[in-house]
Amino acid sequence: MSNRIRTVSLLLVLVLTSVLLQACGASGSTSETASSSPAGSSAAQAEEATVTIGYQSPTAQTWGALIIKNKKLFEKHLKEVAPDSRVKVEWFDAPAGSVLNNNMNGGKIQISFLGDMPSLLNGVLGITQPNYHSVFLAFDGKGVQGRNQAILVPKGSDIKAIADLKGKTISTPIGSSAHRMLLDSLRKEGLVDQVTVVDQSVTVGMQSIEQNKIAAHSTWEPYPTLMQQKGIGTVLQFGEATQIDYLAGVVANLDWAKANKAYVIAFLRALNEAHEFARNNPEETAKIFEEESKFPHEVCVKMVQNIRFNAAVYKKDLNTLNGSIEFLSSIGKLQKKLDLNAFVDDSYLREAIQSTGGTYLTDAELQGDWIQGKVY
């Protein structure tokens, strides 16, 4: 009898143990399902992410970023496009596009506002680096026929024309749009091989002009206006003399963009709202530029007046970028030829505009000149 009781007791223990193990297993399965369920479902916690955006205070044509940052437009559109995501937006201010490119290649920045040449160099990184791919999403600031660039000489200089630069030393950031503009100006006078061009950043170039250490410096806004306002430099030639549009754009990590399309759409909606804001609110835009960039108010007012903030990818813009690719190749700055058809993708921009009820430009419109009063 006692043996039978012990046997029954043992069987009960085994059954209870089995039930408990099944319960634990079921509990673990439920937990795993909840953690892997898509964001937005009732069982899922909100998705968490950090998006870092690179921008450049020293380059006025990338100042669409300052409006987005100041007015928190990206956060606004993230709430509308991805309400179930918890996204922390961080901003990284860099002195040059090369710094942003290095950080994008290292996976530390997802989106960057870049000048035309750094954008193209980023595209080359995307096809030469094993773990980095990139996409050109949209334009930010545009300078018609080279506006917002200039060649400057020290105040009181006896150099009055490009021809007077013969035998002189000139500085510019090598490989920049200002460098292309400078070489084009020298080429028209047959002086390319009769001057010495040295590599100097925009800030060092301004100091060199102020201290009369060089004959001329080729640069971009806001530095030409700042040097004139401070009385330390005189414009020898504006960029419009070259008739080559000066462009700045937005580049993203392609793999990140594909995996986070909603974030990209939200960002481009914010970009377009910033452009609309700049067009419709020039005085407040100048104040935002002043607050975020720390440049004088008068300089910022001129930037609002002279920069066309326009995201759309026109055929003429692609032609300008192809010319810049040829320029970079000619000075040995490209490791590999870049195919714009593979690098530039405005489908994200089109979708972003359509998601707000807007209509993107027609193919016929994109074949022509920039349309007055349109920011996309």
- Of 208, 226, 242, at which residue does a domain stop? 242
Task: Judge whether 372 lies within some domain.
Answer: no
Give percent above pLDDT 90 in the chain: 84
Task: Judge whether 15 lies within some domain.
Answer: no
Residues 137 and 255 in one domain: yes
Residues 172 and 88 in one domain: no
Task: Judge whether 1 lies within some domain.
Answer: no
Residues 233 and 169 in one domain: yes
Q: How many domains does the structure of the chain reveal?
A: 2
Residues 295 and 357 in one domain: yes
pLDDT per residue over 50-68, tens digit each?
A: 999 999 998 999 999 999 9
pLDDT at 41: 33
Structural domain including 211 reads 153-242
Neighbour tally for 37: CB within 10 Å: 13
Give the C-alpha separation, 337 to 122, whole Å.
Answer: 12
pLDDT at 46: 56
Task: Judge whether 270 lies within some domain.
Answer: yes
Strand, coil or helix: what is 368?
A: coil
Task: Judge whether 5 lies within some domain.
Answer: no
Task: Judge whether 19 lies within some domain.
Answer: no
Residue type, 171: S
pLDDT per residue over 121-180, tens digit each?
A: 999 999 999 999 999 999 999 999 999 999 999 999 999 999 999 999 999 999 999 999
Task: Supply the CATH number for residue 120's domain.
Answer: 3.40.190.10
Task: Judge whether 41 lies within some domain.
Answer: no
Task: Judge whether 6 lies within some domain.
Answer: no
Least Cα distance to 243 among 309, 313, 320 occurs for 320
Residues 57 and 122 in one domain: yes
Name 174's Cβ contacts closer than 8 Å, sequence gap at least 6.
197, 199, 331
- Whether 293 and 57 have beta carbons less than 8 Å apart is answered as yes
- Of 211, 242, 273, at which residue does a domain stop? 242
The mean pLDDT values, 10 residues at a time, for the chain of 376 residues are 40 38 35 32 58 95 98 97 93 95 97 97 96 97 96 96 97 96 95 96 94 96 95 95 96 97 98 97 98 96 96 97 96 92 97 94 94 79
Residues 132 and 194 in one domain: no
pLDDT at 48: 84
- Residue 210 CB-density burial (10 A; 0-12 exposed, 13-18 middle, 19+ buried): middle
